[in-house]
Amino acid sequence: MRHMKKIAVASIVSFSISSFALYSYAQENQTSNIFSDKEGNQSYNAVNEYYSIEKSSQGLVEHKQLLNLRNEKLKKNKVSEIETTITFSKPLTYEEVQTFIKKHKIDPKQLIARSIKDSERITTAFAANSSEKDVNDTIKSLTSTSDTSFIGFIDMKGKINYDSLDALTLDSNSFMVDTSGDDYLTNAKKGVYAHSLSWFLEDLSKNETISGYQSITK
């Protein structure tokens, strides 16, 4: 069984950033998202995989099919403590996220929330053990000006066991359950979390209706 380190209460970080800037930042910092296998060969690049998805509803369908195959492998081999990135199908409240975590026995690592100021998207990253007071204080600070609205939590990262995968994938609050960076799949010395599809979905849903996803940008 792999052991976990407790995340320090720490950090609540907010930033607003364009899709292009997000890509540039990710490219500059992608060493944390690339892992080599035990022989030293590059085995998984979270940034490249994210940008390889075709920007269409069909591209999402094909990517989901790929992830389902990976999840089946993890279930078949009864893998525990799987690095998992979950993109929600709609923004959730803090209470809904906590219920979701308990329901699927997730060991949370990071929660991501969305606010909007005019048409600009603001991303806030919460440490997994941030208290409800921490969250409420941050929301209050973010919305202290009349032109900023808190939308809700849009994705999260955490560890799950194989026997949670089916229910988690079928949950109406889950749009995508991505385990691609887990070390069992990559054969790397340690795992990494895949990028969520929140920005991808927000951009795509401006022009397309995405089955199973509630757009926040229309």
The residue to which tokens 């849009």 are assigned:
154
Cβ pair 213, 89 in contact under 8 A: yes
Average pLDDT, the chain: 83
30 pLDDT above the threshold of 80: no
Confidence bin at 49 (pLDDT 50/70/90): very high
Note the pLDDT tens digit of each residue in 79-130. 999 999 999 999 999 999 999 999 999 999 999 999 998 888 999 999 988 8
Neighbour-count burial of 108, counting CB atoms closer than 10 A to its CB (0-12 exposed, 13-18 middle, 19+ buried): buried
Q: What is the pLDDT of residue 12?
A: 53
- Distance CA(88)–CA(70), nearest Å, equals 19
Euclidean distance between the first and the last CA atom of the chain, given in angstroms as a whole number: 45
Q: Is residue 147 very low, low, confident or very high in pLDDT (cuts 50, 70, 90)? A: confident
pLDDT at 43: 67
